[in-house]
Structure 1
Amino acid sequence: MAANPENLKTPLLGRPISSNDQSKPVLLRVFVALALYLGVGTICFVLVRSQLEGKKTNDIVDALYFCVVTMSTVGYGDLVPATTLAKLLSCLFVFTGEAMVVLVLSNAVDNIVEKNENLVARVFHLRDKVTPAELLKEVKTNKTKYKFLMVLFFLVLLMSSGTLFLKFHEGMSTIDAFYCVCATITTLGYGDESFVTAKGRMFGVFWILSSTICLAQFFYCLTELYSERRQRYLLKRVLGRKLTFADIEAADLDNDNVVSVAEFIILKLKEMEKITNEDVTLLMDCFKNLDVDKSGTLTTADIINTV
């Protein structure tokens, strides 16, 4: 395997096969965890169905729907716990559900988006003859941008499908349907508009989970894109700025009136806000402790003496 690294590559992008293989167990664990959560929650709320107040349709559908509405923190208010036991169960499932959304389901969304980044890159280069190696480089360079576009596409698709479903199946006007979609995906959940039919709630089980997570991913990607662009601007400004005598003096950490490559790199890293003076001080103190013979360099003798 070491002698033939190409055997580990995919024919399209040259990516290691192991990265795809690793995503399968992650997705499997996500679906198993979600199935267990929804299964246990549905059973619990079916057993206490008489202790829930509100608009009811089918016992199993209502219990599953209530789990998802609780898990996503939408909380329409069309089904509410009315007894001490039901309220305690709701408290338990809302905390468990939030943890699952943050720690588990987001990983699944990331995997799905990353698998489609090369598709977005191909769309941007339909008229260009791009080799697999060039496409891989393009994806790596604009990874955050393509991820943002993919999440935006899914978000628009989910909002459109939700609006159409509420309009034609739940009988809402276009404005009310769009209003309900926005109140749902932001987990605002006023409760004046919600899914009221059994089929609508079955649709809502999948749609609410997908849309609320997708919106959270959208804002995360938006923040990541802004941060990356700011870093690129800062990098361009730092590398394009001319050195001054003050820079030479600040970069000369060992006070020998000469700036080495390492000192120049440290200076630029500090300007790019990658490291701070405190970081440099801590690392220099660590180096001095390891440099037993005080030669200014680390040798095998220093390592032996510190053992």
Structure 2
Amino acid sequence: MANDSAKVPLLAGLRDPATPINQVVPPRRRFRHSKSLPQLAGSKSLRDNLHPNLKRVLIFLVLYLAAGTICFYLVRDHIKGLKTNGILDSVYFCIVTMTTVGYGDLVPDSTPSKLLACVFVFSGMALICLALSSAANYLVEKQEFLLVRALHINQKVGELDILKEIETNRVRYKCFMVLSALVVLIVAGTAFLATVEKLDLIDAFYCVCSTITTLGYGDKSFSTAAGRIFAIFWILMSTICLGQLFFCIAEVNTEIRQRALVKLVLAKKVTNVDLEAADIDDDGVVGAAEFIIHRLKEMGKICQEDITAIMEQFEDLDVDQSGTLSPSDILLAQSSYTGN
């Protein structure tokens, strides 16, 4: 950048153009308006775009189950155990395999069927880890707004206030939603096994716990046709839900540690060493942007590699080397990209 721009404040672009340059700015001026709030209430953010397309996830799941059903149906004579219906047993075996429950009520009994089971257990685990769990996470987040509104049903809370609370306690609400869904699935599974599979309550609850944890001892399982139809959907949802709960608990623990670090950094006294480290452009003065960046680095929210990469992008866009970005810089940068 040009040397004459070294003294340009990093937050100069936030100043009102109508304000004279030599006018004294109040020393405790604060920027309280966040440009991210309209984005939360309206258009999709970048994070929202990272969520999986649920339609695509369902297509992958249907294709996986269809392929598994066909394959296991063709080798049904090489699978031993308690059988009800060829197609139903094949779908049920796919679900039990991909979720790694492995009751043992249906077992591969030949070399081709064993190799086929090995292929489907790895592909099924990958499908759950990479796609279905993210889809479940997406669905849970969609319910957060309704949850916060329900918690404040007797209070006059606007949509913007709800969005702020969701942003503040997102991980905790997610954990609460997943835990609630898991409790419902446990109760539903226990009641179904007790009424349809004719197990007593203890055995039914025992079977539910061994299933959702993918322990799958096999002494208790779904043995009827109706039970296996229920199990196709219930096993898939319950095992994913439990995995999501463990992930949410880890997120809550990480968030607690992060907030403790933030409080520690903000409580620490600022020294001359801190000012020297925060002075990015080495002009002897630390602006608001420089101070914010330094504090974020101490909090572990950003690292030097991130700052370097952003500065490189800034310098690429700053075509006229003025030290600031303008619409003309963007147009020139785009034209240079097009020319290359």
Normalized against structure 2, the TM-score is what? Answer: 0.74
Q: Which has the higher contact order (CA 8 A, sep 6+)?
A: 2
Q: How does 1:11-30 map to 2 (within 5 A)?
A: 14-16=41-43, 26-30=53-57
Structure 2 gaps, min length 5: 1-37, 334-339
Query: What's the offset of the Cα at 1:276?
Result: 4.0
Q: How does 1:269-288 map to 2 (within 5 A)?
A: 269-276=296-303
Which residue in the other structure is 1:265 paired with?
Answer: 292
1:224 aligns with 2:251: yes
From 82, 88, 105, give the equivalent of 2:109: 82
Which residue in the other structure is 1:49 paired with?
Answer: 76
Which residue in the other structure is 1:151 paired with?
Answer: 178
Provide the alpha-carbon RMSD of the alignment. Answer: 3.6
Which residue in the other structure is 2:202 paired with?
Answer: 175
Does structure 1 conserve the Cα–Cα contact (< 8 Å) formed by 2:207 and 2:220?
yes
Query: What's the offset of the Cα at 1:111?
Result: 2.7
From 235, 239, 242, give the equivalent of 1:208: 235
The aligned amino acid for 2:144 is E
Query: Matches of 2:281 and 2:51 in 1, distance apart?
Result: 51
The aligned amino acid for 1:67 is C
Which residue in the other structure is 2:18 paired with?
Answer: none
Query: What's the offset of the Cα at 1:288?
Result: 9.7
Query: Matches of 2:312 and 2:144 in 1, distance apart?
Result: 43
Paired-residue identity, %: 54
* Distance verdict in 2 for CA 1:298–1:125, change over 3 Å: closer
Which residue in the other structure is 1:105 paired with?
Answer: 132
Does structure 2 conserve the Cα–Cα contact (< 8 Å) formed by 1:186 and 1:215?
yes
Query: Matches of 2:70 and 2:315 in 1, distance apart?
Result: 63
Query: Matches of 1:18 and 1:257 in 2, distance apart?
Result: 37
1:58 aligns with 2:117: no
Query: What's the offset of the Cα at 1:289?
Result: 11
The aligned amino acid for 2:233 is F
Normalized against structure 1, the TM-score is what? Answer: 0.81
Report the structure, 1 or 2, having the larger helix content: 1
Query: What's the offset of the Cα at 1:205?
Result: 0.6
Which residue in the other structure is 2:166 paired with?
Answer: 139
1:164 aligns with 2:171: no
1:94 aligns with 2:121: yes
From 94, 109, 115, give the equivalent of 2:142: 115
The aligned amino acid for 2:66 is G
After TM superposition, the structure 1 stretch with the greater mean CA deviation from structure 2, 188-197 or 231-240, is: 231-240
Which residue in the other structure is 1:197 paired with?
Answer: 224
Which residue in the other structure is 1:39 paired with?
Answer: 66
Does structure 2 conserve the Cα–Cα contact (< 8 Å) formed by 1:42 and 1:60?
yes
What count of residue pairs does the alignment treat as equivalent?
293
Query: What's the offset of the Cα at 1:122?
Result: 1.1
Q: CA-to-partner distance for each residue in 1:127-178, whole Å, 9 max, x for gaps?
A: 1011222222222332222221111111111111111112222222322222
Does structure 2 conserve the Cα–Cα contact (< 8 Å) formed by 1:72 and 1:98?
yes
Query: Matches of 1:260 and 1:209 in 2, distance apart?
Result: 53
